[in-house]
Structure 1
Amino acid sequence: MSLARQAPRGIGRRDPLESRGLVRLLVKPAAFLGANWAALLGVLTVVGIVPALAGATRVTGDLARHEDAAFTSTLRHLRRTLRRDAPASLLMLFVAVGIGANALVLPRLEPSLRVLAVGVLLPLIWAAVAALSAYVVAAARDRTAERTDVVIATLALLRDRPLAALAAPPLIVLLSPLWLLAPLTLAVGFSVPPWVLGRLWGGTA
């Protein structure tokens, strides 16, 4: 029997799967990038803001299941829930415009009036941002649920996780560079923030 036949299997041969470790290392960043680009397409439609963020939350919250098709999985969620969650997208846009308008108007007010306005508006804005953040997570958990069921799930999240409701608005502000700075926006601006907020609210499972 020749030495080639006596040698254990695999010795002297290059393992075709030797580079799998490096490939697997790049899968998760690629999944965040794919989910981000799909979410970005939805955000550009305006009415698809919430469905896009919910899709990214769903995909990045369960990468073991979606990492090989992050882009298409996010788009499927967006297409499936667009009609259901479009009103929430418009509400989110309205809140964002309101925050921007207040930021322009408040510095021009008298100091005493400014303090009063901030005291009245801050709790309302805080509550609206927390509720919209919870809605995105609730919408990510079930793409087949009716809008009423998602709203009920949102209220349940706000009731059961008050600390998350308090932390969500400042966390969104902290993450704002990711979706305000163009290079970061194109890379992970609409995938990393949904992932972080999804974990804050307890995941999407």
Structure 2
Amino acid sequence: MTYLNIHFAGEVDPLSRAVSYYVFVERGAETFAATLFAVATATATILVGMAQLRVRLGARAVVGFGAWCVALVLCAVFPTDNSPTIQTASGWIHQFAGASLFAALPLAGIALARSLGAQPSWAGTARVVRGLALGGVVLALAYLAARLPDLLWWWQFPGVLDWRSVSGLIQRALFALELAMLLVLATRLLLVSWAAIRAARRPAAEPVVTP
């Protein structure tokens, strides 16, 4: 996603245009879809890894992360319309999936933080995840507010309430925050997994003392 933001800054304004419009630049569709599939796969891998370590995730968190993964795949498969208004079924699916994914992960993060907070080895991670998730909720609401003039096209918004000129920036900040949340979980998962592997190998490495 960083590559797309930098390489195509002249074609897709990162301040006002959504990341979905990268599919309309040269070779952008493949990179955009690959990014979303990679994030969905990474999310599923993190959840499976935590489950294998018997970390209690909580049903709400699992549902939220699952919705995030499904929405990512739908956004990759069904591109938006390259027009001011949504005109095709693919465009509508993309819009609803996009709205779902930006709301699902912050809510899933809040639910997960509640479960992790009750587990001593994950309590510190829970605090970080909760902070990022709450920040995600704020940015998700800000992005919704920025899109209201497009959604409620029949109402004349005052200039001070029209944030469309920075809607792309808000969306990218939200996506970065959500990726940071996944990175925090992945980092903690690697550390805990490595500690478990070392603990399992230590007894075997100790010399056997015979009486």
Superposition TM-score, scaled by structure 2 size: 0.30
Larger Rg: 1
Higher relative contact order (CA 8 A, sep 6+): 1
Structure with the larger helix share: 1
